Amino acid sequence: MLIFWQKHGRRMKELKLSFLEKTKAKILAEGIKIPKASCKISIDATEIISKIKNCGLKLDAVFLSAMAEIIYIRMPEINVRWIDDKDEPKLELYETLNFGLAIEAKNGLAVVTIKDVEHKNIWQLNSEIKELAEKAKQNRLDMQYFEPRPNVVFNNVGIYQNIIDGDSLMQPWNTFMVSAFRITETPVVAEGCVVIRPMMNVRIFFHKPIDGKAATKFLNLLKEALEDPRF
């Protein structure tokens, strides 16, 4: 419902906030207090584009599949969550992968949870992501789609035109977030020659207990997996 009133001779309107908007504002206000660091890597998206076009895959599914393999098989030690306790901080190590995925909802962005990613192949992930995107557009997301709270989040910023880099706000329970930005035609040096390649900036945002060594290792493994996808 819209409420109209006059103030200082100007017509103003107050918009009633939805539950999702109120919750998101509260969470982001808490998230901005979290000290975090980030680092960035540039990925050649030639193979990613080919797979997306030829296989009908969403970029989100390609990233989640690659991230899941790295975390579950090669770097399980980063599948953790830091718990601030008044007496002594705690560290929780997870045996399953519950990823957060930023998607466009009717009233802005929402971070939904995709559960047990380690048990799903890329095609299952692709189907689930499409279903979630459709529910979000129809404003049919309820609390079951936001639980459990994910410690790892993927954010596809590349859907927004011309955005090639930027910052992201983490939620209080996130350990790290991976943001992928717009793919752009970029001159790069390959085998001594300057060539034009579709390049994508990918940035990882992290805070305790992930340090710079783990973050850069993860990014390099992700670059390796995405530039030579095995599916």
What's residue 1's pLDDT?
A: 41
Triad 125, 109, 177: Cα angle to 5°: 65
- Residue 58 inside a domain? The answer is yes
CATH (domain of 150): 3.30.559.10
What is the count of structural domains for the chain?
1
Asked if residue 225 has pLDDT above 90, the reply is yes
Residue 143, in any domain of the structure = yes
Residue 10 lies in a domain: no
Look at residue 6 and tell me if it is in a domain. Answer: no
Band of the pLDDT at 10, cuts 50, 70, 90?
low
- Write out pLDDT tens, residues 146-182: 899 999 999 999 888 888 898 888 888 899 999 999 9
Q: Determine the pLDDT at residue 44.
A: 97
Averaged pLDDT for residues 37-50: 95
As a whole-number percent, the residues of the chain with pLDDT over 70 amount to: 94
**How far from 196 is each of 185, 189, 218, CA to CA, in Å?**
6, 9, 26
Q: Which helix (H) or strand (E) holds 88?
A: none
Residue 22 neighbours by CB under 8 Å, 6+ apart: none
Quick check: is 49 in a domain? yes
Does 21 fall in a domain? no
Per-residue confidence (pLDDT) for residue 137, from 0 to 100 = 86
Q: Provide the domain limits for residue 63.
A: 35-84+91-227
Residue 228 in tokens = 């030579």
